[in-house]
């Protein structure tokens, strides 16, 4: 899966379900290089919603790649945990339903 597929098949569907209109401020992705050695292929995703950054969700390209559905489930779970503790979504366990 390349970055375009990661965004279209994993990131966008999850954000569309869990964030409400107007909540998303920005989404950024970086591919940092390690201090030494060859590049590992890590992709770091940062989401800012209502001024609050959703830490960093990492995905490593080429290492026992999970299916898009498994990646959506992992991202959704992590983002749900963030939302429930955020100022804008305090106490709201927003549902994520995998489309079939």
pLDDT in tens, 51-84: 999 876 776 666 666 788 988 998 999 999 989 9
pLDDT tens for residues 9-22?
999 999 999 999 99
Distances (CA, A) of 11 to 35, 38, 86, 91: 27, 26, 19, 23
* All residues at 6 or more sequence positions from 42 whose CB lies less than 8 Å from its CB, including other chains: 31, 32, 58, 59, 60, 61
């Amino acid at each position: 899966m390349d970055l375009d597929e990661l965004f279209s098949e994993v990131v966008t569907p999850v954000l569309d379900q869990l964030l409400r209109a107007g909540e998303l401020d920005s989404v950024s992705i970086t591919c940092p290089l390690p201090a030494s050695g060859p590049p590992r292929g890590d992709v770091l995703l940062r989401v800012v919603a209502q001024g609050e950054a959703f830490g960093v969700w990492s995905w490593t390209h080429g290492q026992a790649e999970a299916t898009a559905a498994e990646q959506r489930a992992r991202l959704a779970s992590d983002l749900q945990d963030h939302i429930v503790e955020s100022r804008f979504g305090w106490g709201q366990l927003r549902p994520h339903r995998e489309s079939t």
